[in-house]
Amino acid sequence: MIKSTIRDVARMAQVSISTVSRVMNTPDSVAESKRNRVLEAIEKLQYQPNSFARGLIYKKSFTLGLLIPDIENFYYTGIIRGMQDACIKFGYSLMICNTDRDKDRLLSYIDTFHEKQVDGIVFASDVLYPEYYEKLVRTKIPVVLLSTHSDEYDIPCVEIDDEAAAYDAVKFLIELGHREIGMIGFNHDNSISGPPRYEGFARALTEAGLERNVGKIRFATHRFEHAYDAAHELFTDYPELTAVFCVADEFAMGVISYLKDRNVLVPGQVSVVGFDNLRMANMFIPKLTTIAQPIYELGYRAAEKLHELATTGNVSVLRERMAHKLIVRESSREK
């Protein structure tokens, strides 16, 4: 009933434990006859080397940790798929920790990572507060930031160009002929992409001589319902709006849902552009026009970068940017 050990295998194959170890690690250094006997014993005993013992020696756990703020968000779910594939490529396991945007939980997951000695951590949890940074540094575990970055610390990161992406979205709306454009954004104080996306919005507007719109913005906090409420505020204050740029697909859905409840047609009367291109963007009615992030690739790349960092001690490019792309579907129309 007990897990078999290298000793059991050695005994059954009539060899020493070193020989067994060798067939597991450098099979060519063992005479064929013995090797076969060992292999047979391994098969018969369903032997699996004990990863604790190995970890003790190698000082590596062959697992990576991932910190995300909200697993019930297709954005992070796509990240996970990318990371998991990269992990398989490199032979890592992945330990996914969902903080639910709870600070204490995040901190305690870092402890877990430290204790379990993960070989690296991908931090995809928005702003890297000093408190998080300090704790992360003290563990001495390599860290890569995903869809976030730090101005103060030199931590490798992979992300998109939020300012440019937002600019593209708003410019598209302008080219469609819209003149009264609003925005549903992320709060500037506890999100990393909030400010740059706002700046992209403002720049596109300004370049087109539409500065009067730059204040037509309301903020929401991640969820559909908040965006619904924010849309209500936005349209109450600015009923003239014919288009709104949303910094998340979920916000776009909230806005469209609000408009629908007010019998305003999308895209008939109001155009809505989202951000992320989640799987849902294509399922919603109407299908969302949106800025596509290379979500899967972002996750994949973060793991690659972390592997590079954990293996070589540093990375070739510190801050990496991946390309975004506007996807035109049904929620936008010419004015």
According to the binding rule CB under 8 A, does residue 253 interact with a copy of itself? yes
According to the binding rule CB under 8 A, does residue 98 interact with a copy of itself? yes
User: For residue 149, which phi and psi values (nearest 5 degrees)?
Assistant: -155, 175
Select from a copy of itself, DNA, none the partner in contact with residue 18, using the beta carbon and a kind-dependent cut-off of 5 to 8 Å. Answer: DNA
Select from DNA, a copy of itself, none the partner in contact with residue 15, using the beta carbon and a kind-dependent cut-off of 5 to 8 Å. Answer: DNA
Select from DNA, a copy of itself, none the partner in contact with residue 316, using the beta carbon and a kind-dependent cut-off of 5 to 8 Å. Answer: none
Select from DNA, a copy of itself, none the partner in contact with residue 22, using the beta carbon and a kind-dependent cut-off of 5 to 8 Å. Answer: DNA
Name the minimum Å distance from CB 19 to DNA.
4
Stretch that binds DNA, among 57-65, 79-87, 238-246, 255-263 (CB under 7 A): 57-65
**Residue-wise over 265-296: b if at least 16 C-beta within 10 A, else e?**
ebbeebbbbbbbbbebbeebebebbbbbbbbb
Of 11, 54, 105, 179, the one binding DNA (CB under 7 A) is 54
Distances (CA, A) of 195 to 12, 190, 198, 233, 247: 66, 10, 5, 20, 11
Helix, strand, or coil (residue 64): strand
Name the H helices within 46-120.
51-58, 74-90, 103-116
| 1 vs 154 by CB, closer to a copy of itself | 1
Of 39, 45, 49, 208, the one binding DNA (CB under 7 A) is 49
Binding pattern to a copy of itself, positions 13-42, x when CB under 8 A?
------------------------------
According to the binding rule CB under 7 A, does residue 16 interact with DNA? yes
Name the minimum Å distance from CB 97 to a copy of itself.
8
Number of chain positions touching DNA (CB under 7 A): 32
As a dihedral over the C-alpha atoms of residue 275, residue 276, residue 280, residue 284, rounded to 10 degrees, the angle is 20
CA distance 113 to 65: 7
CA distance 295 to 217: 26
Which residues contact DNA by CB under 7 A?
Answer: 2-3, 5-7, 15-22, 24-25, 29-31, 33-35, 47-50, 52-54, 56-59
